[in-house]
Amino acid sequence: MANFEVRVRVRDDGTTGVTIGQGTGDPEYCLDAEALADLADGIRAAQRKLLERKLADDLPNIDFMAKLLAEPPYNFTSCRKLFAAPEVDDTVFASTPLASMNWMTLFAYMHRRFGPPHVRTSGHQDISAGWRLSSPEPDLFVDIVPCAGEGIENCFEPYFEGTFEKEEGKPDTALHGRLSKAYRAVLMDLLRPVGIREHSFIEDLLQTESDTEHSMNALGPLWNQSRLHEGQEVGEGQFAYYQVAHHPSCGVATPIGLLESYEWRKFISFITTLGGDDAIKGLDIACNHAIEKTAQPHVRKASWPVLRLVLLSALPGGFQEDVKRLLALSPVEEARYKDDLLRLGIGNQNAPEQSILEEFTRDVIDEAEKLGNLLGHPRLYPLWTVRNLENKQWLLERMKQT
C-alpha cells in the first residue's frame, strides 16, 4: 500500500469520497463515506475473527486458579493500552471465548464463585462493585466490574505493578508477552465450572444429551458434553479437574449495613490477613474474638431463667458445650442447671413442673433469643424449646388420664 496514492476530493455529484490509485493512467477506486464504513466494519470483523479461539481448543490453565486479592500493590497502573491494537481495544480479551458473553451472566458467575464484590467502584456509574483477581504473575492483577454499557471488554481492567519499560516508544517485547500470557490466564480461568444446583436422582434419570448440567461459567450454563467437565492427567493415575466450589456466602443473607459502609474494604483486608490469606478462616477468628469480648457483659446481666433457656435450646443442635464455654457457668450454676433438667423431665419420662414452666415468660424467651445471637448461635429457637416442654407436659398428663 505504500505505492498507492490516496486523496480526498469532491465528486461530480457533490459528495466527498476517497480516491485510491497508483498514479497517472492506472485504475482508480473511489469510495464514498458509506463504502468506507462498510470497509472498516469488514476489517474489524476480520481482525476479531483472526483473534478468536474455539472453546474446544481453549481450556483454563490447570496449574493456575485465580484468587481474590484484598489489597492492590502500592504502585500500580492500568495496562489495557498495552494490549490495544488498531480497531481492537483489547487483543488479549478478543482472543478468548469471553467476547461473546453478557454482563449479567458474568455478575452471576463472579458472585457464585467469589462471593460478594469487595472492590469499591463508583456508585453513580456501576451496577455493583467489583472483584480483584490474582494472576500467574505477581505484578499483574485484574479488576472485574460487570457493567451494562457497550463493550463487554470494559468489564475487565488489567493492572500492572510499576511502570512500563519503554523501548523506542514501545513496550518491552518480553514484558508484553509475559503480561499478555498472565492476563489471558485470568480470563480463561473464568471458564471453570461452578455448581448452581444439586443433582437429584430423578433429574439424573431424565437427563438427555440436550440437557444442561447443573453448573455454569462466565458464559452461562454448561452442557453435559463440555470438556470443562473433564480433567487433565497430571500424573500417573492422577487427574486435575476444572470445577471449582461455590463460595460459602452463597445462600447466606448479605450484611447490608456493612456493605453500605466504607469499612467493607478495610474489613476484607483485615480478615484476610488475620486468616493467613484465608478470608473464611479470618472471619471465623474475628467473629469468635468479637463474641467472647462483647457477649460477656450481656451474659453477666442475664437472669438465670434466660441462661437456662439458652442452654436448653442448645441441646438439640449439639451446641451446648460451646454455649457453656461462652456462658462461663460457675460450679453452683452447673449444679443448679442439672437439678433443673430433672425438674423439667429432660432425659426421663417425668412431666415438667408447672412452676418452672411459668418462668419461661415471653420476655425471657425474647432475651434468650437475643443472647443466643450475641453468642454466635442464631439457630437456638428458644420459643420452640418452651413449646416442646409444654407439649410434653400436656402429652404425659393425657396419658395419665387414659
The H or E element spanning position 281 is helix 279-301
Is residue 52 a part of any domain in this protein?
no
CB 317 within 8 A of CB 311: no
Is residue 155 a part of any domain in this protein?
yes
Number of domains in the chain: 2
> 3-state DSSP call for residue 102?
coil
pLDDT tens string, the chain, 402 residues long: the values are: 445 555 555 555 555 556 565 555 555 566 667 777 777 777 776 655 554 444 435 788 888 999 988 766 667 788 877 887 766 678 888 888 888 888 899 999 999 999 888 787 776 676 778 899 999 998 899 999 988 776 788 889 999 886 655 544 566 677 888 888 999 999 999 999 888 765 544 444 444 443 445 788 888 888 766 777 777 766 676 667 788 888 877 777 766 666 666 677 778 788 888 888 887 788 889 888 888 888 888 988 999 999 999 999 988 777 888 888 888 889 999 999 999 888 888 877 788 888 888 999 999 999 999 998 888 888 888 898 888 888 888 887 777 766
Q: Which of 230, 224, 222 is nearest to 62 (CA)?
A: 230
CA distance 143 to 165: 22
CA distance 192 to 232: 13
For 333-391, what is each residue's pLDDT tens digit? 999 999 988 888 887 778 888 888 899 999 999 999 999 888 888 888 889 888 888 88
Q: Which residues of 172-188 are buried (b: 16+ CB within 10 A; e: fewer)?
A: eeebbeebbebbbbbbb
Is residue 76 a part of any domain in this protein?
yes
pLDDT of the residue at 365: 92
Q: Which of 242, 251, 182 is nearest to 217 (CA)?
A: 242
Q: Which residues of 65-84 are buried (b: 16+ CB within 10 A; e: fewer)?
A: ebebbbeeeeeeeebbebbe
Domain boundary pick from 190, 222, 253: 190
Given the DSSP bridges, would you call strands 194-195 and 212-217 parallel, antiparallel or unpaired? antiparallel
The single-letter code of the amino acid at 180 is S
CA distance 38 to 247: 46
Give the structural domain span for 107. 61-190
Q: Is the dihedral of CA 3, 87, 143, 190 positive or negative?
A: negative
pTM of the predicted model as reported, rounded to 2 decimal places? 0.57
Residues belonging to the chain: 402
> What are 188's three cell numbers?
480463561
Domain boundary pick from 190, 207, 232: 190
Is residue 334 a part of any domain in this protein?
yes
Domain boundary pick from 160, 190, 220: 190
The radius of gyration of the chain from alpha carbons, rounded to an integer in Å, stands at 32
Is residue 320 a part of any domain in this protein?
yes
Is residue 72 a part of any domain in this protein?
yes
